[in-house]
Amino acid sequence: MGIILDASVLIECERRKIDVAQRISGREDEEFFLSVISVSELLHGVFRATSESVRMKRSAFVEAVISTFRYLRSI
């Protein structure tokens, strides 16, 4: 079975309000995914950044997330 991580969870992780690694600890036997919608929401957040420094920080975070998890799309 797999688990889909929602963009809101990842945004809270970026804001350091929750620790995703801690939340998924002990569930190494399960696979975690992103939906393509969540990926687009995260990328939209990069686009809407209010400054270049925020944009660069968000971009690095999003790139790390999308390189870590596989994403799913519906057909």
What DSSP element (H or E) covers 72? strand 70-72
Superfamily the domain 2-72 falls into = 5'-nuclease (3.40.50.1010)
Q: Can you tell me the distance from the alpha carbon of 39 to that of 71, in angstroms, rounded to the nearest whole number?
A: 8
Tally of CA atoms within 13 A in the half-sphere of 61 that contains its CB: 21
Neighbours of 52 (CB within 10 A): 8
pTM to 2 decimal places: 0.83
The tens digit of pLDDT for each residue in 19-62 reads 888 888 888 888 999 999 999 999 999 999 999 999 999 999 99
Contact 6/32 with Cβ under 8 angstroms? no
Q: Where are the domains of the chain?
A: 2-72
